[in-house]
Chains A and B, each alone.
Chain A
Amino acid sequence: MTNHSDLIQIMDFAAEIGERVLISGGEIWRTSEVLGQVFHAYDIDDAQFFILPHTLMITVKPEGEETIVRHRSVGDLHPNMEQLSMLNRLVWDIRDNSIAPNELLNRLHAIPSRPVYPRPVVISGMALALSSLTFFFGTGLTGTLLVIISIFIAMGCEMYLDEIIPMNRFLLCSLAAFLSGCVLMGAFRMGIYTRPYLLMVVTSIGLIPGLPLINACRELLNGRAMSGAIQFLTAFVETFAVVCGFYLAAALFGGAL
């Protein structure tokens, strides 16, 4: 039987680890599994979770006591597989070795939450990925160079502009697409490249939330309709924002998508 102060510590830990799993790219079912393993390790069988991409709620009703609730509003997704892996290992450790509840938060805080790579390296990684993809789209060397430039502008805008002028994610996606679209359409108008729309498709892959799209489908197939639908809708709206940005850039330079 877990006493009240231990239960509070386990709840605080569960809320924090759940939040970090979601932010670092864990799916809803994975977060649910992580929380389930934590509570199971301390023989708390009546814990209930309500998890959505941006919301996490944990409820436990100990016998003869008031219900304990922990709620977290989860921020935007920042994929960090290294952190996700370390969080998973911590949960396996809890499952196999039953760490004392007062140690849990210390162990969790020992896992660094900062990104593995600095932002310029992440942008270069995306440029490497998308410039490699241009081979499959058959854009040629000029096209590849333009994609690299446009992805540096789009990702740079997405990563740095939010700090200067805070704005919502959809507007940010639109602006990033618009600026990179202007570069591509400018190159088209100057006669540097004749197929800017193909390059917009390649650049859009860097801005479209691909993994949430697949997770949405998996959630729906797993019977979690609400979280699946929310992720689908988010992916569609973000893609719509990207298309709007490119559309405006094309219109500004007298073209069409």
Chain B
Amino acid sequence: MHILMEFIFSFTCTVGFGIVFGIRKQELYIAGIAGLVTRAVLILCESMELNRLAYTLIAALIGTFFAEIVGRRRKESIAKYMYPTLVMLIPGDILYNFIVAMVTVDQAAASANMLLLGEALFGIAVGCMIGPVPFRVISRKIH
């Protein structure tokens, strides 16, 4: 039941962000599915007790795969579908906690949050960069 709720709220969360990103209403459900896919990967990775770097990287990678497939099938910009997949992974709360720790001169919390922030950002960035590579290689071979 809890997992079902997680999926529902992931869907509504990415649909909400899809509106903020200006994705037209006919395609908002794709943004929702993108969020759902990313959440499912996150849950799977967390159940395998992977660290933050590993699970954000894998989730970003799968999310980018999803965006590439949908974007290429619909002949649309990949960014349109990639941003909603990433939105569930953005470590906004960690950045906030990091700055709060800096402001309140809590060095232990600041360094812990900085490490988490670095892991999450690096994981997402690498996942996004590796994701499109197979598609570009295949595309070049075809053309």
Q: Which residues of A are in contact with B by a Cβ distance under 8 Å?
A: 24-27, 30, 79-85, 88-89, 115-117, 121-122, 124-133, 135-136, 200-202, 204-205, 208, 210-211, 213-214, 217-218, 220-222, 235-236, 239-240, 242-244, 247, 256-257
> Main SS of the interface on chain B?
helix
Give A36 to B87 CA distance when docked, in angstroms.
Answer: 28
Contact A257/B100 with A214-B86, A239-B95 known, Cβ cut-off 8 Å: yes
Cross-chain pairs A/B with CB under 8 angstroms, 12 sampled: A79-B22, A81-B23, A85-B76, A116-B22, A122-B19, A125-B20, A136-B9, A204-B93, A205-B96, A208-B95, A240-B102, A257-B100
Distance from A101 Cβ to chain B, minimum over Cβ atoms (Å): 24
Q: Which partner residue on chain B sits nearest A228 by CB separation?
A: B125
B96 touches A242 (CB 8 A): yes
Q: Which partner residue on chain A sits nearest B71 by CB separation?
A: A85
Distance from B43 Cβ to chain A, minimum over Cβ atoms (Å): 11
Give A128 to B10 CA distance when docked, in angstroms.
Answer: 11
Give A202 to B83 CA distance when docked, in angstroms.
Answer: 19
A85: B residues at CB distance < 8 A: 76-77, 79-80
Q: Which residues of B are in contact with A by a Cβ distance under 8 Å?
A: 5-6, 9-10, 12-24, 75-77, 79-80, 83, 86-87, 90-93, 95-97, 99-100, 102-104, 121-122, 124-126, 128-129
B125 touches A133 (CB 8 A): no
B77 touches A235 (CB 8 A): no
* Interface-central residue, A80, A127, A217, A239, by most chain B CB under 10 Å: A217
A80 touches B22 (CB 8 A): yes
Contact A129/B24 with A85-B76, A205-B96, A257-B100 known, Cβ cut-off 8 Å: no
Give the 9 A-B residue pairs with the shortest CB-CB distance, closest first: A125-B19, A129-B16, A128-B16, A210-B90, A132-B13, A217-B125, A80-B22, A205-B92, A116-B22
> Main SS of the interface on chain A?
helix
Distance from A108 Cβ to chain B, minimum over Cβ atoms (Å): 16
Distance from B99 Cβ to chain A, minimum over Cβ atoms (Å): 5
A79-B20, A84-B80 known; 12 new pairs, CB 8 Å cut-off, are A25-B79, A80-B22, A85-B80, A89-B76, A89-B77, A126-B16, A129-B87, A130-B13, A132-B13, A240-B99, A256-B104, A257-B103
